[in-house]
């Protein structure tokens, strides 16, 4: 886990202007888009809110990574606004997970732990691959930084899903699944706060630089 200094105050401002970075990003987009369909289907069959929350994260990542690609090479202000959009989107995803989890607490059904674990393991493998592809570029402007945070969240979320699957199996209860879904919602909100903070800081810097000296 990075310190706040490296998240928000790093002097490294890689802007994504690299053929290698763009190629890796395209691969990660394809992985996320594919895993959304696989995990949403598996989450529905397994009746797992944690898997469905993670599937939603895959979809959100695929879309926001596309925004990242589109913003590369643009002005600092445009890239910061793209990061702001992604931060807000991540916040909405977190709130949706919280609301959906709260709703399903009222209609508890025990998820299928075996299917949950199998799909969770596949998703973990996909996300570890994405993290390894992007680790070289984890520091940079808010636009680039948001990509790394989303990928890291996915890997952490999948580890949590695997733990939830084991807990569901041993307790024969839906509560571990719901608790992990809620934790993932909190992780979305925490990361969105980091993205928004850095993006707003970069926007302020561009506005300050644009003001002519008297």
pLDDT under 50: residue ranges of the chain: 1-10, 12
Q: Whose CA is closest to 41, among 55, 31, 30?
A: 55
Q: Whose CA is closest to 131, among 17, 32, 7, 205?
A: 32
Give the chain's largest Cα–Cα span. Answer: 70
- Token pair recorded at residue 143: 């636009």
Res 1: pLDDT: 36
The radius of gyration computed from the CA coordinates of the chain, to the nearest angstrom, equals 18
Measure the CA–CA gap between 171 and 183, rounded to whole angstroms: 19
Res 196: pLDDT: 85
Q: Whose CA is closest to 40, among 25, 60, 24?
A: 60
Res 148: pLDDT: 77
Give the model confidence (pLDDT) of 140-167 as tens digits.
777 777 777 777 777 777 787 778 778 7
10 Å Cβ neighbour count for 135?
12
Domain ranges in the chain are: 17-210
Domain 17-210 has CATH 3.40.190: no
């Amino acid at each position: 886990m990075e310190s706040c200094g490296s998240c928000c105050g790093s002097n490294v401002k890689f802007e994504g202007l690299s053929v290698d970075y763009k190629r890796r990003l395209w691969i990660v987009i394809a992985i996320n888009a594919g895993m959304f369909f696989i995990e949403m289907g598996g989450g529905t069959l397994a009746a797992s809110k944690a898997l469905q929350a993670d599937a939603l994260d895959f979809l959100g990542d695929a879309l926001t990574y596309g925004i990242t690609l589109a913003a590369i090479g643009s002005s600092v202000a445009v890239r910061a606004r793209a990061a702001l959009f992604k931060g807000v989107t991540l916040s909405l995803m977190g709130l949706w997970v919280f609301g959906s989890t709260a709703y399903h607490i009222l209609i508890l059904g025990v998820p299928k732990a075996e299917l949950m674990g199998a799909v969770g393991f596949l998703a973990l493998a996909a996300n570890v691959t994405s993290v390894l592809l992007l680790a070289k570029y984890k520091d940079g402007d808010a636009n680039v930084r948001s990509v790394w945070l989303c990928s890291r969240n996915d890997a952490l979320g999948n580890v949590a899903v695997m733990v939830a699957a084991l807990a569901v199996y041993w307790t024969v209860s839906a509560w571990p699944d719901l608790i992990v879904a809620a934790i993932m919602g909190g992780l979305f909100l925490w990361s969105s706060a980091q993205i928004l903070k850095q993006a707003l800081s970069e926007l302020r810097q561009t506005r300050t630089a644009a003001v002519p000296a008297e």
